[in-house]
Amino acid sequence: MKFRATAAATASISVGSAIVSFASPSPSVDLIERYVRFTSPAVHLGDITFDAGIRVPNPKRPAWFSTTIAEIRASVSHAYSAHDGQWLNQNVANAATDFFGSTADLLPGKPYIYSSIDGDLVAEFTTPNGTLTSIISPTFTLLFGVVDGVTSERKIMETRRTREEVRDFLKPLVADPHGDLATQE
């Protein structure tokens, strides 16, 4: 565990690869005092209160993320009625934004995106070991992978598990033996 003061009223504490930040809206908060209280073994954690909540920062996002999200947002039609392939409805766009927001750093590069016949978003990826197709709808995400001609699939229903499920599903599709993806441009 290491502690690092990054601003007058902010400390970042790294535990392994995760970073947890304690941030205060007031610059007058005594950071050192909080640091001592936090690290003192005589103080029970339950006795400590923080001015601000604990937040987990967003994972580092690859360069393609903002472009893809912009393309999705620019494809939303509020007058959307039929699936003509050129437009997305807002619910599909929201689901896709959430999906990429939580998994972009795991994914193998910029996806080729289009609308399915049913109006959901299809994202095609080429991975070091095969291909990945993600179909993102407002109610589920379907992952379909091909490695050496062998297919696998997974349906994700719970959005809170999306990141974990994608990470696990991608393991055989990527070259890194640790299962973590190096994002590509």
- Binders of another protein in range 56-75 (CB under 8 A): 67, 70-75
Strands (E), 51-129: 54-55, 112-115, 121-127
- Write down the least CB distance from residue 68 to another protein, Å: 9
Piece of the chain touching another protein by CB under 8 A; list 8-16, 39-47, 105-113, 168-176: 105-113
Sheet containing 121-127: order of strands: 112-115, 121-127, 130-136, 141-147, 150-156
Query: If binding is defined by CB under 8 A, does position 150 make contact with another protein?
Result: yes
CA distances from 33 to 3, 11, 21 (A): 14, 12, 16
| Residue among 13, 23, 31, 146 that touches another protein (CB under 8 A) | 146
Q: What's the Rg (C-alpha) of the chain?
A: 21
Query: If binding is defined by CB under 8 A, does position 82 make contact with another protein?
Result: yes
- Please, which residue, 30 or 71, has the CB nearer to another protein? 71
Q: Which residues contact 91 (CB under 8 A, 6 or more apart)?
A: 138
Q: Which residues bind another protein (CB under 8 A)?
A: 67, 70-77, 82, 84-88, 110-118, 120, 122, 124, 131, 133, 135, 137, 140, 142, 144, 146, 149-151, 153, 155
